[in-house]
Chain A
Amino acid sequence: MMANNILLETESLSKHWGGIKALDDISLQFHDRQLHGVVGPNGAGKSTLLNMLCGTLKPTSGCILHQGERIEGMKPWKFVRRGIGRSFQKTNIYTDVTCLENCAVATQRRFAGSFNLFASRHANKPVRDAAEKALHQVGLADRMNTIAAEISYGEQRQLELAMVLATDPCILLLDEPMAGMGHEESLRIIELLNELKKTYSIVLVEHDMDAIFELSDQLTVLDNGTHLITGTVDEVRNEPRVKEAYLGKDDDEEAA
């Protein structure tokens, strides 16, 4: 299981807001073709971690290594160019244009000069093909020419994912891709993620515990900004500290 290459790594990564430690001394390794789940109660620092991994938040200290190179000081768009793609917790798409155009914005960077002031945006087959492929991947092919605002919420979540895939990443940083989804839709996403982790390295932040237990090869538990444990799903399940800090509470809530 551990034989895969390390693609992305953090070393003593910390983020402090004034005196508050949103995230403290986190060292993690993310492997190629594995799904790395990140869980923790609200305020544990999951989103903070994800935002630093994709470059939108600058860490207070510590570093992020991508294929052995330090990248934490780079601009977010450079992260994407290195193959680190992210999805947003709150659906973040171009609502006024078609689903295809949404993905075409993402694929254009790979195939065509985006500083070309004259060539028509519509006259590039690779851009269009790649955008279509991304929509196919997430099962939105039949919505290609629909305005993004008009598709259902679940479909918008799928589009969100398609846009990340369209950037041709190696590492997917997914922020609660199943948030607000119905059961059926969630199952479809789980199936999709199971498929995707064969080719991509995925970091998944998710509240749906069943989903994350099913999907994760590695699981990290954060609590109150600190790193509790990283291990396989079974290791994490049997760790008493985790039960205490997180799962126990969660069970109580469910029982209540």
Chain B
Amino acid sequence: MSTELFFVQLINGLQYGLLLFLIASGLTLVFGVMGILNLAHGSMYMVGAYLAWYFVAITGSFTAAAILSAVVALGLGILIERVLIQRLYNRNHLDQVLLTIGMIFVFNSLQSILWGNDPYGVAVPEALSGSVPFTDNSSYPVYRIFAALICIAIAAALYFVVSKTRLGMLIRAGESNREMVEALGVNIKSLYTIVFAIGVMLAAISGIIAAPMRSIVPGMGESVLITCFVVVVIGGMGSIKGAFVGALLVGIVSTFAAVLMPTMSNMIIYIFMILVLLVKPQGLFAK
């Protein structure tokens, strides 16, 4: 592998990893704070991508579509938490798994009813459509750099919120001690609603950002869901920092695997995860 190819792949890997982080962050946040394993998280990513496509078609503006989609996703998250998830807090985890599997069915079906089963694409916004020359004979699309920057910005914002704000303090406390949060006079119900809705919105935003880079197809949610599981398990369930490191590792490993050993590329991240768990059975940043 030439140095040039190496760097292109490295950047591809990082960029893919950052996107993975964005999707996985919501999953690990919801699990860490609420103890809920949301199997429908991938569906929220799919919803984000379809909404972006839909609103671009209506408004003609990617920015407007992105904002509209994120807001709709936030509302959807609140609705799901209030109507469904909230009823299952004192039930066992398997009931929650079952509920979220039911949600996958519903969302896949709604997608097919509302938007059909044809693949769609979203055009890269005009302002970001160019390429930056990378070396003499290769270049890198501006939109991908922009997407990576957005992911980094959101990661930084998440870090700031979780470690520096009152909401973040409650989130960190909520992970370990429900009663303590209650004792602080905080309504844990509202906190959970907010956290779940943010989780959904993060997944949807990832879908929006991914929309111009990937084709929008039925089933896109499930394939990304499993990869996200790998990410959060490698990082340590519930840890945002872990999800960040896990996502970059998975992004880089799978990108290089696709080039270096194409016949095994699909298997490689699972092998990687199993190796990590054998050394650290609770993931890299276990609590």
A contacting B, Cβ–Cβ less than 8 Å: no
On B, residues with C-beta under 8 Å from A are none
On A, residues with C-beta under 8 Å from B are none
